[in-house]
Amino acid sequence: DVKVTQSSRYLVKRTGEKVFLECVQDMDHENMFWYRQDPGLGLRLIYFSYDVKMKEKGDIPEGYSVSREKKERFSLILESASTNQTSMYLCASSFGQGFGYGYTFGSGTRLTVV
């Protein structure tokens, strides 16, 4: 069964900490994405990557960075965690370019910053 695996389901961090959220996919997908999900706001794209070492800003990149050193792994980094980054974080991957291809999502990481 194909999978996108996020390393943690729940995470509690302190304000100012550097936080790493890890995502691994086993489908050899080119594209990977990080979203955050907040009540009433739906899903908002933070960053995405369409190739190893490539990254593009999404709609809300401020306060975040990403790393993609290998095709299967896409990491989201909170440089200095703040309470307004408390959220559900979802990783996804997809195949190729163009239309018609859906995403495969991980189960999410619920991050609480205290």
Partner 1 sequence: GDSVTQMEGPVTLSEEAFLTINCTYTATGYPSLFWYVQYPGEGLQLLLKATKADDKGSNKGFEATYRKETTSFHLEKGSVQVSDSAVYFCALVFSGGYNKLIFGAGTRLAVHP
Among 1, 62, 69, 102, binds partner 1 (CB under 8 A): 102
16-11-90-15 Cα dihedral, nearest 10 degrees: -10
Q: Is-contact 19 13, C-beta < 8 A?
A: yes
Which residue bears the tokens 């086993």? 26
- Residue 45 found at the interface with partner 1 (CB under 8 A): yes
Q: Which is nearer to partner 1, 4 or 21 (CB)?
A: 4
Q: Is 59 exposed, middle or buried (CB count within 10 Å of its CB: 0-12, 13-18, 19+)?
A: exposed
Question: What are the tokens at 56?
Answer: 């593009």
CB of 25 to partner 1, least distance (A): 12
Which x/- pattern over 58-97 shows residues binding partner 1 (rule: CB under 8 A)?
Answer: --------------------------------x-x-x-xx
Q: Which is nearer to partner 1, 20 or 101 (CB)?
A: 101
Residues in contact with partner 1 by CB under 8 A are 4, 31, 33, 40-43, 45, 48, 50, 56, 90, 92, 94, 96-108
